[in-house]
């Protein structure tokens, strides 16, 4: 999201509430675990020195806190939920980077690259344990965090299983399978953020609808992520370019391009079957995905899912201006 945007003030306000609570949650860890956690959260370098980094964009905690405000509660009421979803997000990035062998994250080394696979795995587990402890006594919010954890691992498992499936033919990955995977992998935690926010804010009756809202938003968010992985600027996203293409990740733009079945799709199919092994073939594939209409189809589907999410929000929380703007901004982000 563009931080020169009017939303930057809203985000900054949420961050001022979040940061001390997040640091306090992490402070209980073993010193070594605490150093890894601080690195994973973007607060310090691998040698433990603070570098004034401000971590990620904290979209999920902001959704939790703005959801509480939208039902008339102070943002603080959602703080345990906000801390929990940010910790789960950090946990998932740490484990994802190990699973995907991604060496870079947020313009730095991935945690496993800096500390080793075993320690990083354990640091991820610690972040998850801390997340659960935030809501252990709050079943009305824990219910959604727990559901999000299951969705997350199910979505990640599906995503990983897709890598071993063919691009075309009887066992090809369908758009329906993709959206289910994205709703789980990315949508569950966004849904838990919003649902925990309204539940902790005193309106648990809205939580199921906000969960659905978050899952729709997650599909849109994941499609945009896929697009940034192909056409994004690595100096902005902080991720290596074309890594999804190189590892046969079944991203939506590619699936949509292949489904058009025109000349560009057939050429793309041949390139993918040969395997993307160098920058030249990756650039060629990216070009063919766009030529076949995969980029436009991805943008259109992302827009549709955002519209669906915003519809739910307009029904449940018609006056939630900041929350609405934040969710809307997630499909117009540059990193």
126 interacts with a second copy by CB under 8 A: yes
* Minimum distance from residue 27 beta carbon to a second copy (Å): 12
Q: Which listed range, 60-68, 119-127, 272-280, 313-321, lies at the site for a second copy (CB under 8 A)? A: 119-127
For residue 310, state whether it binds a second copy (rule: CB under 8 A). Answer: no
> Within positions 28 to 67, which residues make up the interface with a second copy, using CB under 8 A?
28-30, 32-33
Residue 100 in the binding site for a second copy (CB under 8 A): yes
The size of the interface with a second copy (CB under 8 A), counted in residues, is 41
Which residues, 132 to 161, sit near a second copy by CB under 8 A? 132-133, 136-139, 142-143, 145-147, 149-150, 152-154, 156-158, 160-161
Pick 73 or 131: Cβ nearer a second copy = 131
Among 38, 85, 90, 128, indicate the residue that binds a second copy (CB under 8 A).
128
Three-state SS letters, the chain: CCCCCCHHHHHHHHHHHHHHHHHHHHCCCCHHHHHHHHHHCCCECCCCCECCCCCCCCHHHHHHHHHHHHCCCCHHHHHHHHHHHHHHHHHHHHHHHHHHCCCEECCEECHHHHHCHHHHHHHHHHHHHHHHHHHCCCHHHHHHHHHHHHHHHHHHHHHHHHHCCCCCCCCCCCHHHHHHHHHHHHHHHHHHHHHHHHHHCCCHHHHHHHHHHHHHHHHHHHHHHHHHHHHCCHHHHCCCCCHHHHCCCCCHHHHHHHHHCCHHHHHHHHHHHHCCCCHHHHHHHHHHHHHCCHHHHHHHHHHHHHHHHHHHHHHHCCCCHHHHHHHHHCCCCCC
Site of interaction with a second copy (CB under 8 A): 28-30, 32-33, 95, 98-101, 117-119, 121-122, 125-126, 128-130, 132-133, 136-139, 142-143, 145-147, 149-150, 152-154, 156-158, 160-161
């Amino acid at each position: 999201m563009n931080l020169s945007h009017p939303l930057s003030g809203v985000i900054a306000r949420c961050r001022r509430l979040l940061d001390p609570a997040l640091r306090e949650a992490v402070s209980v860890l073993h010193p070594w675990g605490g150093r890894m956690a601080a690195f994973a959260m973007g607060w310090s370098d691998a040698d433990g020195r603070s570098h004034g980094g401000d971590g990620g964009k904290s979209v999920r905690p902001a959704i939790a806190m703005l959801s509480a405000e939208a039902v008339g509660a102070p943002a603080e009421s959602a703080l345990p939920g906000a801390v929990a979803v940010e910790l789960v997000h950090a946990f998932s990035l740490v484990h994802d980077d190990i699973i995907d062998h991604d060496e870079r994250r947020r313009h730095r080394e991935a945690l496993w690259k800096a500390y080793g696979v075993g320690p990083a795995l354990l640091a991820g587990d610690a972040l998850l344990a801390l997340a659960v402890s935030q809501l252990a006594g709050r079943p009305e919010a824990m219910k959604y965090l727990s559901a999000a954890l299951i969705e997350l691992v199910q979505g990640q498992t599906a995503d990983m299983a897709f890598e071993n499936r063919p691009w075309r033919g009887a066992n090809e990955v369908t758009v329906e399978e993709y959206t289910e995977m994205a709703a789980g992998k990315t949508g569950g935690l966004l849904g838990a953020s919003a649902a925990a926010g309204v539940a902790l804010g005193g309106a648990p009756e809205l939580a199921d609808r906000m969960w659905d809202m978050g899952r729709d938003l997650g599909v849109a968010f994941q499609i945009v992520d896929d697009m940034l992985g192909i056409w994004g600027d690595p100096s902005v996203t902080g991720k290596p370019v074309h890594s999804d293409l190189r590892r046969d990740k079944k991203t939506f733009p590619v699936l949509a391009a292949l489904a058009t079945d025109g000349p560009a799709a057939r050429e793309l199919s041949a390139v993918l079957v040969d395997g993307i092994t160098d920058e030249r073939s990756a650039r060629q594939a990216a070009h063919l995905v766009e030529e076949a209409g995969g980029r436009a189809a991805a943008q259109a589907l992302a827009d549709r899912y955002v519209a669906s999410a915003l519809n739910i929000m307009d029904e449940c929380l018609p006056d939630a201006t900041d929350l609405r703007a934040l969710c809307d901004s997630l499909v117009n982000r540059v990193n």
